[in-house]
Amino acid sequence: MSTVLELDGTTHVVRYGMQDDKKEMCHVYFFRNGKRFIIDVSGDDVRETPFYDTWRPLIEPFDPKTPAGRNWVEQWRNLATLVITASLQQLRELAPEVTYWITLGDYLHTPSYSLQVVKQDGAQNGVATKISKGPEDIPAYEFRPYGVDMFEGLLDGIPKVNCHQLTVLDCEKNWKVPPRKVHIADGQIARFKGYEKPSKSVESGAMHCYSLDSIKCSLRLHETMQRLSPEPIPGLASVLGIVMDERVEDNGSSESSPKQLLAGILISWTGNDTMWDVVRDVDKADTEDILRRSAAWRTKINNVLNRLHAFGLSFCDSNGTSWINDSSTYIDEKDAAWLTTGSSFVSEPRGGEAHNACVEADMKAVRELFEEWLPAELAKKVGT
């Protein structure tokens, strides 16, 4: 899980890790001062040290039935803190205090090291770290640029922007999430929608790249709207640009040429918070205010849908299920609502009964969002 630790006077953004008490091993994956580190610990390397005595209980499996197990987040933070603290001498050398992650290109080209905790006589807690791999050039967080050929026919007419020309804004407000808000050279603020690594489905166990699906939906909607209505629809996030990255491929020859990759797209700035985020962070005393403000949000969403429906478009997938929900609806700093594309929606005009069914599905989703989900979530706040 992602957590932020302030250690050694420096922010350490811990993305995830692994622990196995049977094999007596763990690793912690984190960022420090714009560099990525993966620190591995094996019981064979640290046994019979003060570090081992503290570390061994922290890799025990969590039992949710016990008080300690219910506080598994704290146990995970303690494990990450212990491993990082044992590595501080090496980390200070490899990742000293510097200005970092200024542009989006800095994120996409992050130096990475793998470290191993080993026994060392005379060291604090009897251990130190050694470099086992690196430095390597890797994208930060879970970013993964893709080849241009995957988007044939979807990129025509869209401005291309070099990732190093995009300044990242407000990243320090929430280190747990990848950068989203960027400043374009012309002064415009946009949202970066980046390509990420595939993830495993909880239901099927199959690997799937949801960010790729979502971005393709945005590009298909853009292509369709350019044909039907070149004027943007207020409240519907539109594509502003394609973010390009250049990466040198190691092909085994002495001369390696850089390859142009797509890192993601720029869309209208929608604010950072989805409706789910807004409700999660609201205080008990402000629930009535949220209900009052939500009337304007609903009106804005309905206006967007009326425009889309007039073109035969909808937020339904091929099965007739609408993707309008608390995660696809954003609220910006001016308290305006925005609809964003998820991983599926109808990007080609429909007509007749098929379109009517999609219109009804969209409007039903809006009713459920504002008349059922929102009041129910706010009621939980009042009841606490």
Residue 252 has pLDDT above 60, yes or no: no
What is the amino acid identity at position 151?
A: F
Q: Which single residue is written with the structure tokens 């007419």?
A: 157
In this predicted structure, what is the pLDDT of residue 146? 87
CB-CB contact of 200 with 211 (8 Å): no
CA angle, corner 4, sides to 17 and 53, nearest 5? 55
- The dihedral region occupied by 210, where left means phi > 0, alpha psi between -120 and 50, and beta the remainder, is alpha
Burial 36-71 (b: 16+ CB within 10 A, else e): bbbbbbebebbeebebbeebeebbeeeeeeeeeeee
What mean pLDDT do residues 189-194 have?
A: 95
Residues 6+ apart with CB under 8 A from 144: 195, 196, 197
CB-CB contact of 10 with 97 (8 Å): yes
> Average pLDDT over the chain, rounded to whole?
89
**Segment 288-331, tens digit of pLDDT:** 999 999 999 999 999 999 999 999 888 888 778 898 999 999 99
Q: Which single residue is written with the structure tokens 């415009």?
A: 188
Bridge pairing between strands 35-42 and 25-32? antiparallel
Q: Structure tokens of 45? A: 């390397």
How far apart are the C-alpha atoms of 384 and 350, rounded to whole Å?
Answer: 46
Q: Structure tokens of 109? A: 């080209």
Residue 243 has pLDDT above 90, yes or no: yes
Residue 254 has pLDDT above 60, yes or no: no
**Segment 24-35, tens digit of pLDDT:** 999 999 999 999
pTM of the complete model = 0.88
Better-scored residue on pLDDT, 83 or 352: 83
